[in-house]
Amino acid sequence: MGEAAWRHEREEPKMERAQEPRLWSAQHAQDALLRRTELIISVVLRGGVFMSAGIILIGVVGFYARDFAGAGRGVDPRAYPRTLGAVLSGVAHGDPLAVIALGLLVLIATPVLRVAVSIVTFALERDWVYVAITALVLCILIVSFLLGAGGA
């Protein structure tokens, strides 16, 4: 409903810009760079989401398949790994709960990866103010991660 009309109207400002290249060029170049950053960040988020959802789904199917086959009898559903090492060795042994936990770790890592990638894309734009801002965010994240691991 109105999809075509919307597309049509959205294209108009672009045409206006093309007619006045001098007036728009600086702004336009900046927009194009921001657009690229947006697309890269979107791809990172989408990749992380698909990967984690896929891994979690494999773990869930594995868990219930084992459960229904009766092979899981006697396995404690509360015995799940809590560190990266335990998760990886659990996955290597084919433990479905460890597979789900791996998917959760990928999900948790996705926003952090997004911040790290943004530093690179802003650097490619030579947007040093935002390189500094994003790097500061990553530092705070790392500090809170380290403090959390040490305390609590």
Partner 1 sequence: MPSEPQLLFFLFVLGASLCAGLIGSLVGLGGGIFVVPLLTIGFGLPIRLAIGASIVSVIATSSGAAAAYVRDRLTNLRIGMFLEVATTLGALAGALLAAVAPTGLLYVVFGIVLLTSVVPLVLKLGEELPEHVQSDMLARRLRLEGSYPDRLQGTDVAYRVTRVPLGFALMCGAGLLSGLLGIGSGAFKVLAMDSAMKLPMKVSTTTSNFMIGVTAAASAGIYFERGDMDPLVAAPVALGVLAGATVGAKLLGRLSNVTIRKIFVPILLLVGIRMLIEGMAVFVTAHPH
The secondary structure element, H or E, covering residue 150 is helix 128-150
Q: How far is the CB of 89 from partner 1 (least distance, A)?
A: 15
Q: Shortest Cβ distance from residue 67 to partner 1 (Å)? A: 5
CB closer to partner 1 out of 4 and 22: 4
Which residue type sits at 21? P
Q: Is 147 strand, coil or helix? A: helix
Q: Which of 19/51 has CB closer to partner 1?
A: 51
If the CB atoms of residues 19 and 76 are measured against partner 1, the closer one turns out to be 76
100 within 8 A of 60, measured Cβ to Cβ: yes
* Shortest separation between residue 127's beta carbon and partner 1, angstroms: 9
Q: How far is the CB of 19 from partner 1 (least distance, A)?
A: 17
* Half-sphere exposure at residue 132, Cβ-oriented, CA atoms within 13 angstroms: 3
**Residue 3, SS3?**
helix
Q: Assign 3-class secondary structure to 49-98.
A: HHHHHHHHHHHHHHHHHHHHHCCCCCCCCCCCCCCHHHHHHHHHCCCHHH
| Residue ranges in contact with partner 1 by CB under 8 A | 2, 5-6, 9-10, 13, 34-35, 37-39, 41-43, 45-46, 48-49, 52-53, 56-57, 59-60, 63-64, 67-68, 77-78, 80, 82-83, 97, 100-101, 103-105, 107-112, 114-115, 118, 129-130, 133-134, 136-137, 140-141, 143-145, 147-149, 152
In whole angstroms, the minimum distance from the beta carbon of 57 to partner 1 comes to 7
